[in-house]
A and B are shown apart, each in its own frame.
Chain A
Amino acid sequence: MTFTVLVVLAVPWFLWGDPRTAAGLPIWLWWHIGWMGLASGVFYLFTRADWDRYMGVSDV
């Protein structure tokens, strides 16, 4: 579920056709860069907490 949200919103669909820029880059690109940073963070937390849960590995 979390993964789905991460994939779907990696492209800022709500900014479709939006030409505004900030600090020299389009804001949809800033969104994407930030989102990838967020994805990394979420992935890191996942490796700490639930990494083995869906693999059936219990005794590690």
Chain B
Amino acid sequence: MSELSLQLGIVVGYLVVALLIGLVAYRVSTNVAEDYYLADRSIGTLVLLFTTFATLLSAFTFFGGPNLAYAQGPEWILVMGVMDGVLFAILWYLIGYKQWLIGQREGYVTLSEMLGDRFGSTRLRGLVAGVSLFWLFPYVMLQQMGAGEAITGLTGGAIPYWAGAALITAFMILYVVIAGMRGVAWTDTIQGLFMLSVVWIAVAWVLSAVGGPSGATAALQSTNPEFLALGSDFYTPAYIISTAVVIAFGVTMFPQINQRFFVAGSDRVLKRSFALWPVLVVLLFVPAFLLGTWAAGLGIEVPEGANVLPVLLSEYTPVWFAALVIAGALAAMMSSSDSMLLSGSSYFIRDLYRPFVDPTMGEDKEAWLARVGVALFATATFVASLSRPGTLIEVGNTAFGGFAQLTLPVMVALYWQGTTRSGIVAGIAGSQLLYLSHVFVPQVTVDLAGTAVPLFARAYGGWDVALAGMALGALLTIGVSLVTTPATEEDDSRFAIGAD
């Protein structure tokens, strides 16, 4: 068998397995929206842990992250640990558990639905859904672009970029449409376990060839000794803190992550996942990023536009294993995108289409429309990914910052009964405007009393402007709430827990 067909066989075989799991999940599902989106709120620990985990991982774990470690050293492991391991776990408790308690009682399916109901405002519901979809759409597109490039790279250009992206898109639509949340959660679990194993096998393989970690690190010492010392001009404390905080807060409001706060079968599931989280993060990211770092010491040359991990593996491992790792990377992209499609569709159908277009829609029709929504959403992002519009790529790359703007207003609303509708609307709109203006308005430097002051810069003194947006969002929410009175449709008892 030729190398090309072996590689393709492994990748396609992998996709087929994912599809089969989707079919099994379909057989145990019922046709109502709550089951389709949330698997009837019945997910157990292992599946919840891995579906959230797999959803968090994207092309970055296998490509972007190791590339960065190869170029700048392994400190990203710390960013990952602080952000995903600790900060996200704490937010998981503060926001996730609270949302789970509220959702369990009130039957909410999306974040926007929950806020819209609490503040008695369909417009707020639409605003949150609209803001979320705005940041989500280009992010899905980036995943499809990554998948297309990975397949082109694997086959040395035999399969063109558009065909690779189309293949992945078609598979995702198929199994998300068939299986809903249950199928997505199950395939995510398989994909998560798969990625974890593949990465460790890769480390073992490479290290056995170069004389263990000491050998690899010694090689690194002779070529890039600065990588071993903590910190650099690139990894400044401001950079590490901004990145970790912005991404951790952003992740919480990503629709596909946020929606997982509603799906746990019991609070025991949430507790176990919370405690296992830091360990899981270390288990995956330490080996993945170290591989990239060690590659720098092993004299691996990465061609322009290629990724370090596949190059390293083709040097030290057989063809079939390198193809498995590419399949693992595709798994990472698919497990993020399938969940994003599902959540994006639920935000669109439930929070925009139903309230504004067809308020009398029944559960059956909603479950059916949700599937149409998935197909439309995926097709639209696929079409957009073909022309690679620069603006959309920019939005996708800043999506974490955009979602991070939502987190503090939502937290204030969850924990402070004095929050008013005007307050939260001001907090969300104000912070989005500040952040969007900094992403889109080109930087200008003005002369202020003799010193040059940059305006609309993405970072000030090394600190990401998203942090300022987050602070503004919180201040506006609290400040405007203090000076306004609640509208009559608001119902603060919706978020009160334990009163009954």
Query: Would A55 and B229 be within 8 Å (CB), given that A24-B216, A43-B274, A47-B274 are in contact?
Result: no
CB pair A37–B78 under 8 Å, yes or no, is no
B74 contacts A by Cβ under 8 Å? yes
Q: Contact: A19 with B86, CB < 8 Å?
A: no
Q: Flag if A10 contacts B82 (CB, 8 Å).
A: yes
| A6 cross-chain contacts in B, Cβ below 8 A | 86, 90
A13–B278 CB distance below 8 A? no
Contact status B230-A39, CB under 8 Å: no
Known contacts A17-B229, A21-B228, A39-B86; decide if A32 and B277 are in contact (CB<8 Å).
no
> Which of B250-258, B279-287, B390-398, B425-433 lies at the interface?
B279-287
The number of chain A residues touching the other chain, given as a range, is 35 or more
Are B230 and A25 touching (Cβ within 8 A)?
A: no
Using A7-B90, A47-B271, A47-B274 as known contacts, say yes or no to A36 and B498 having CB atoms under 8 A apart. Answer: no
A residues near B275, Cβ cutoff 8 Å: 40, 43-44, 46-47
B337 interface contact, C-beta 8 A? no
A17 touches B231 (CB 8 A): yes
B78, B267, B276: which contacts A11 (Cβ < 8 A)? B78
Contacts of A11 in B (CB 8 A): 78, 81-82, 240
* Pair B214/A23 contact, Cβ less than 8 Å: yes
Which A residues touch B77, using CB under 8 A?
A: 29, 32
Q: Are A32 and B78 in contact (CB under 8 A)?
A: yes
Contacts of B498 in A (CB 8 A): 55-59
Residues of B within 8 A of A55 (CB): 97-98, 101, 497-498
- CB nearest neighbor in A for B82: A10
In chain B between 79 and 94, which residues have their CB closer than 8 angstroms to a CB of chain A? 81-82, 85-87, 89-90, 93
Q: Mark A1-44, 1 if CB is under 8 A from B, else 0.
A: 00100110011110111110101111011001101110110011
- Find out whether the CB atom of A37 lies under 8 angstroms from the CB atom of B228: no
Check if B212 is an interface residue, CB within 8 A of chain A.
yes
**A23 vs B216: C-alpha distance when bound (angstroms):** 11
Closest chain B residue, CB of each to CB of A24: B213
Alpha-carbon distance A24/B236, docked complex (angstroms): 24
Question: B214's contact among A24, A26, A46, by CB below 8 Å, is which?
Answer: A24
CB-based contact B212/A24 at 8 Å: yes
Chain B residues 219-246 with CB under 8 Å of chain A are 221, 225-226, 228-231, 237, 240
Minimum Cβ distance to chain A for residue B65 (Å) = 15
In whole angstroms, how far apart are the Cα atoms of A38 and B391 in the complex?
43
Query: Please, how many angstroms separate the alpha-carbon atoms of A6 and B86 in the complex?
Result: 7
Q: Which of A25, A28, A29, A43 contacts B89 (CB 8 A)?
A: A43
Residue B217 at the chain A interface, CB threshold 8 Å: yes
Q: Is the CB of B81 within 8 A of A10?
A: yes
Partner of B271, one of A25, A37, A51: A51
Also in contact, A26 and B279, with CB within 8 A (given A10-B85, A55-B101): no
User: Is the beta-carbon distance between B282 and A18 smaller than 8 angstroms?
Assistant: no
Known: A29-B77, A47-B271. A19 touches B225 (CB 8 A): yes
Cβ of B190 < 8 Å from any Cβ of A? no
Partner of B229, one of A13, A19, A35, A51: A19
Contact in complex: B497, A56 (CB < 8 Å)? yes
B230 touches A12 (CB 8 A): yes
Closest A residue by C-beta to B212: A24
Tell whether, in the assembled complex, residue B74 and residue A29 are in contact, meaning their CB atoms are under 8 Å apart. Answer: yes
Of the candidates A26, A43, A59, the one having the most CB atoms from chain B within 10 angstroms of its own CB is: A43
Q: Is the CB of B496 closer than 8 A to any CB of chain A?
A: yes
> A24–B74 Cα gap in the complex (Å)?
13
**Listed residue (B217, B221, B225, B282) with the most chain A CB atoms within 10 angstroms of its CB:** B282
Interface positions, chain B 249-300, Cβ under 8 Å from A, are: 267, 271-272, 274-279, 281-282, 286, 290
Given A37-B279, A40-B279, 20 further pairs, Cβ under 8 A: A7-B90, A12-B230, A16-B237, A17-B230, A24-B217, A25-B290, A26-B229, A32-B77, A32-B81, A39-B278, A40-B277, A43-B275, A55-B97, A55-B98, A55-B497, A55-B498, A56-B498, A56-B499, A57-B101, A59-B498
Closest 7 CB pairs of A and B: A24-B213, A47-B271, A19-B229, A44-B275, A24-B214, A56-B498, A36-B278
7 CB < 8 A contacts A-B: A7-B86, A10-B81, A33-B286, A36-B85, A39-B278, A55-B498, A57-B101
